[in-house]
Structure 1
Amino acid sequence: MSGWLVIAGLGPGDENLVTPDVRQALDGATDVVGYIPYVARVAPRDGLTLHPSDNRVEMDRSRHALEMVAKGRRVVVVSSGDPGVFAMASAVFQAVESGPLAWRELDIRVAPGITAMLAAAAQAGAPLGHDFCAINLSDNLKPWPLIEKRLRLAAEADFAMAFYNPRSKARPEGFVKTLHVLNEVCADARPVIFARCVSTPEQDISVVPLPEARPEMADMRTLVIVGSSTTRVITREGAPIVYTPRSVVA
């Protein structure tokens, strides 16, 4: 039987948010490859081999998956959220491009998932209702000056912004700099949404004006959304509704 590779997104955490397409791929797989906590979300069964690995070996993981597919295995490479958003899809295709020419003819498919940005936005209302961008604030794979340049230009362009990996224990200063840039460029009280562990039992969502946002409000399990200058907050009992209108007055 010919092998195949599905690069799949497991969604933000709630098993109800895993798509039927991804479930079907997992049901037909002989092997699942991915970062340790993501592979742990896949239930063991007869005929399925799990291959968990560390977070910083994406290229090794990708090559391992492709080698197994070339031998006829049916492999699912798992990511949280969507595999094409700061996740494994691009790593696999980079391995394909730099690997043996035969890998280009393998049966490879990307199965999308619900990324944390969209899950967090849905919980808050519709803060991404107009033009927006997503920025990964981790400087593991790109230098901080590039992150700051993109952040500053996005703020000047008045995008709503979604931030992945805002603040790690090893590099807490990055989000300090991020808030400094935002307060410098935006100079208003647009809402900032801190969505931690979205769609899981640990979910915690808070909304504060930009001047009141503090670095310690975020960690690596937090998705941060910063509204544009047109983003609105509807106050009510309980959690507010945050939305960005679909039109902008000239």
Structure 2
Amino acid sequence: MSGRLAIVGLGPGDHRYLTPEARAALDAADVLYGYGPYLDRVSERAGQARHASGNRVEGARAQDALNEAAAGAQVAMVSGGDPGVFAMAAAVCGEIETGPQAWRALDIVVIPGITAMLAVAARAGAPLGHDFCAISLSDNLKPWDLIEKRLDAAAAAGFVIALYNPISKARPWQLGHAFTRLAQHLAPSTPVVFGRAMGRADEALTVTTLDQAGEVKADMATLVIIGSAETRVIARDGKAPLVYTPRVAAAVTA
């Protein structure tokens, strides 16, 4: 049997969000690779090897998985959320592009999962109901001035913005700076949604406004959605508010 590498999206956390295709790929694998906390979400199976690694060694992890698949193994690389959104699918493709010819000959399958912005949006209502974009606030792989340019462009163009990797112990200031930057383009009352650990037992959802967003705690398990000028909040007695962005642009209804 020839080797195969499946890059599997685990979704936001709970097993009910794991697709049947993803479950089948995990069950069929001889060996699993992944960031340790993500591997911990996968049930252990007798005879299946597991290789956990840290979150700063994506390239090395991809190389190890590709080498094992090239040797004939059925390999699964696990990724939180969707593997193609700021995750391992791009890392694997990057290694294949610069790696040996044997890696290009492999059967490579990317299996989608529910990414964080979709999980948070579903809990909040429909904030991504109109045009939106996703931006990672991590400046480990791109300069901060490029992030600022993209924030400016997205806000000025009227996109709802999903912020991945908003803050960490090593990057404590970026999220606050992003809010300050966005405030140059958006009204203080612009809705902001914080979704932490969606799909897990400790999930939490907070709806606030841009002028108050700096008071809400966040970490690397948090996804932040900043609304556009058209995003609305529907208050409901005794229930969480619904946040949504109308599908029809204001310019059409004016």
How far off its partner does 1:171 sit? 1.4
How far off its partner does 1:226 sit? 0.6
Say whether the 8 Å CA contact 1:235–1:241 is kept in structure 2. yes
| 1:98 counterpart = 2:117 | no
Q: Percent identity?
A: 56
Q: Distance in 1 between matches of 2:209 and 2:120?
A: 17
How far off its partner does 1:188 sit? 3.8
Q: Distance in 2 between matches of 1:120 and 1:249?
A: 24
| 1:245 counterpart = 2:242 | no
**Structure 1 partner of 2:132:** 132
**Structure 2 partner of 1:24:** 24
| 1:48 counterpart = 2:48 | yes
Alignment of 1:1-80 (within 5 A): 1-80=1-80
How far off its partner does 1:43 sit? 1.4
How far off its partner does 1:216 sit? 4.5
Partner amino acid, structure 2, of 1:52: A
Alignment of 1:164-243 (within 5 A): 164-214=164-214, 216-237=216-237, 238-243=239-244
Q: Distance in 2 between matches of 1:196 and 1:54?
A: 21
- SS in structure 2 opposite 1:169? coil
Q: Deviations over 1:67-105 (max 9, x none)?
A: 001111000001000000000000001111110112111
How far off its partner does 1:215 sit? 5.4
Partner amino acid, structure 1, of 2:59: M
Say whether the 8 Å CA contact 1:175–1:215 is kept in structure 2. no
- Count of aligned positions: 250
Q: Distance in 2 between matches of 1:132 and 1:90?
A: 21
Structure 1 stretches of 4+ moved >3 Å? none
How far off its partner does 1:119 sit? 0.3
Partner amino acid, structure 2, of 1:81: G
How far off its partner does 1:249 sit? 2.8
Q: Distance in 2 between matches of 1:86 and 1:26?
A: 21
How far off its partner does 1:34 sit? 0.6
Q: Distance in 2 between matches of 1:124 and 1:189?
A: 17
- SS in structure 2 opposite 1:213? helix
Any gaps of 5 or more consecutive residues in structure 1? none
Q: Distance in 1 between matches of 2:104 and 2:215?
A: 44
Q: Deviations over 1:123-153 (max 9, x none)?
A: 0000000000000001111111111110111
- SS in structure 2 opposite 1:212? helix
- SS in structure 2 opposite 1:235? strand
**Structure 2 partner of 1:89:** 89
- SS in structure 2 opposite 1:37? helix
- SS in structure 2 opposite 1:242? strand
Q: Distance in 2 between matches of 1:18 and 1:213?
A: 31
Q: Distance in 2 between matches of 1:43 and 1:203?
A: 21
**Structure 2 partner of 1:108:** 108
Q: Distance in 2 between matches of 1:132 and 1:160?
A: 4
Q: Distance in 2 between matches of 1:222 and 1:249?
A: 30
Partner amino acid, structure 2, of 1:181: R
Q: Distance in 2 between matches of 1:244 and 1:13?
A: 26
Say whether the 8 Å CA contact 2:187–2:229 is kept in structure 1. no
Say whether the 8 Å CA contact 1:59–1:95 is kept in structure 2. yes
**TM-score normalized with structure 1 length:** 0.98
Q: Distance in 2 between matches of 1:41 and 1:199?
A: 12
- SS in structure 1 opposite 2:240? coil
- SS in structure 2 opposite 1:118? helix
Q: Distance in 2 between matches of 1:115 and 1:191?
A: 21
How far off its partner does 1:5 sit? 0.7
Q: Which moved more, 1:38-47 or 1:156-165?
A: 38-47
